[in-house]
Amino acid sequence: MAQDTVITSKDNPLIRRYRRICEDKRYRNTEHVFAVEGLRLVAEALQEGRCASLYVTEFAAAKYAGELRDGITKPVIISDALGKHLSETEHPQGVFALCYQTVMSFDSKTLRPDGRYLVLHELQDPGNMGMILRTADAFGIDAVLCCKCCDVLSPKVVRATMGAIFRLPVYQAPPPQALSLFLQEKGIRSYAAVLHQDAKPVTALQLGKGCAVWIGNEGNGLSGDAVNVCEEKLIIPMPGHAESLNAAMAAGILMWEMMKGGEANV
């Protein structure tokens, strides 16, 4: 990697732009990029061809020259001090990128009758969102459909996905009623994950292909309008003392059950 001019000022327009992309959701969406930090994630972005611009500290440019060369993306070299300024972590590796946005507008044509889907409605915690996307990617969920959730492309979420953000189809979904109609059209059955007494234990159901599991907000659970458009209410049996699971944990266990199951409703 050639040692070009090294940027040292926080007021450099490229540096200000990176920080603003990190902090300002609206700006992120206007610019159609999001910020990614760390060698592993950035290398994945390069490999997937999603890297719009690359920022590397002098130290990292020397250390990771091999990993960061894709033949196309020319890195912006920044001082090691600026690396600390850009970083959201305590021990920055000095590798940063702005990447083309991966979250897609919803298109019902991508829904497959034998698909396995996760619908997130009003999920707010970035750590939960990241963990859910990582798990969905591991279990081969066909897509995650987000409705009124925290921003999927915030730095906290992106970090927690461990790269799933580059591989997993994630959509901005329409409101519950409209979304449920699109799912019904394809014969995909919607299950509301709730804590209601009259919900069916998931152990008595056959989740699998042709399923969409709906998960709600961390504090309040799935809202009434979302529950009402689902064909079935399900609950994860909890024989112990706790009243509820963390939302990401509940989503993970239900995706695990979807993955293990074959055809649903048969």
Which residues contact a second copy (rule: CB under 8 A)?
Answer: 127, 131, 134-141, 160, 162-164, 167-168, 203, 236-242, 244-246, 248-249, 252-253, 256, 259-260
DSSP class of 149: -
Give the separation between CA 97 and CA 95, rounded to whole angstroms: 7
Give the separation between CA 127 and CA 158, rounded to whole angstroms: 9
* Closest to a second copy by CB, 13 or 240: 240
- Residue 174 in contact with residue 201, Cβ under 8 Å? no
Give the separation between CA 152 and CA 168, rounded to whole angstroms: 12
- Taking the complex as a whole, how short is the minimal distance between the CB of residue 141 and a second copy, in angstroms? 7
33-37: strand order across its sheet: 33-37, 95-100, 51-57, 76-78
Give the separation between CA 70 and CA 49, rounded to whole angstroms: 9
* Closest to a second copy by CB, 54 or 236: 236
* Closest to a second copy by CB, 102 or 180: 102
* Closest to a second copy by CB, 13 or 239: 239
Distance (Å) of CA 202 to CA 105, 141, 156, 253: 30, 18, 31, 10
* Closest to a second copy by CB, 1 or 253: 253
Classify 34 as helix, strand or coil. strand
- Taking the complex as a whole, how short is the minimal distance between the CB of residue 74 and a second copy, in angstroms? 28
- Taking the complex as a whole, how short is the minimal distance between the CB of residue 25 and a second copy, in angstroms? 19
- Taking the complex as a whole, how short is the minimal distance between the CB of residue 116 and a second copy, in angstroms? 10
Give the separation between CA 81 and CA 56, rounded to whole angstroms: 11
- Taking the complex as a whole, how short is the minimal distance between the CB of residue 253 and a second copy, in angstroms? 5
**Beta strand 33-37 with 95-100: parallel, antiparallel or unpaired?**
antiparallel
Tokens 């990401």 found at = 248
- Taking the complex as a whole, how short is the minimal distance between the CB of residue 219 and a second copy, in angstroms? 11
- Taking the complex as a whole, how short is the minimal distance between the CB of residue 19 and a second copy, in angstroms? 22
* Closest to a second copy by CB, 188 or 254: 254
- Residue 156 in contact with residue 127, Cβ under 8 Å? yes
* Closest to a second copy by CB, 59 or 139: 139
**Residue 227 backbone zone (phi > 0: left; psi -120 to 50: alpha; other: beta):** alpha
